[in-house]
Amino acid sequence: MKVAIKKDLDKFLVLLILADLVFIFLHIFHTYTSLLPSSLFSIGRDRGYAEVFQYIKEFWIVILLILLAIRKADFLYLSWSLLFFYILLDDSLMIHEKLGSLIVSWFGLHSGFGLRAQDFGELIVYFSFGFILFVLTAVAYYMSESADRRISKYLFGMLALFVFCGVIVDMVNVIVTHTMVSPLLGMIEDGGEMLVISVITWFVFSLNSSREEISVFPKNV
């Protein structure tokens, strides 16, 4: 089985990326000028303009993966949809921040290695949910066909990049407190997450776009 991705769908990816870049430029104007004083223009603001667009993309990913699971009758895509549903809930409801605070108070965590106690609490939440959802996806992976496994490898690669921006860069930003470097790291973190989610949205939408067999994967992958 090959994966159907039409060339015309590249336009959809371009539109998504352009929208992200607009939000990033608005963020730059907000951060470095007085032209856009409202914090809603910040890409790091919870429920700001850019964040709401991010929620919409994540919702699309969840729905598209569910449709793909139904079409292919494969639990692998449903497990991926659950993972991205958690990402949507975490982004919109600030789950890791809230649960992280509870963990800090329950276990009396302390700061260290340049990180705050809150950061350690949030990391515990990330790894706990991540481990559960990863195991679920891994089990579904080994029960699926080779073509669906190839798709999962691409999704996993993009998810790893998303985690790098959202977790690793975020932790570095906490450690590095330089007034010039910190805003740049914050922009890399949030802007990187936005761009990666846009690529995933395009990718999953493309998988649902057609039943024609047009392969975009190298045969040796």
What pTM value is reported for the model?
Answer: 0.88
Listed in sequence order, the DSSP H helices in 115-180 are 117-142, 146-163, 169-175
Residue 211 pLDDT: 53
User: Which residues have CB under 8 Å from 206's CB, separation 6+?
Assistant: 4, 5, 6, 9, 12
Q: Where are the domains of the chain?
A: 7-209
Residue 210 pLDDT: 56
Residue 217 pLDDT: 46
User: Which residues have CB under 8 Å from 71's CB, separation 6+?
Assistant: 208
User: Which residues have CB under 8 Å from 37's CB, separation 6+?
Assistant: 30
Q: How far apart are CA 154 and CA 200, in angstroms?
A: 9
Q: How far apart are CA 61 and CA 84, in angstroms?
A: 7
206: how many CB neighbours lie within 10 A of its CB?
20
Low pLDDT (below 70) residues in the chain: 1-8, 210-221
61: how many CB neighbours lie within 10 A of its CB?
25
Residue 212 pLDDT: 43
Residue 195 pLDDT: 97
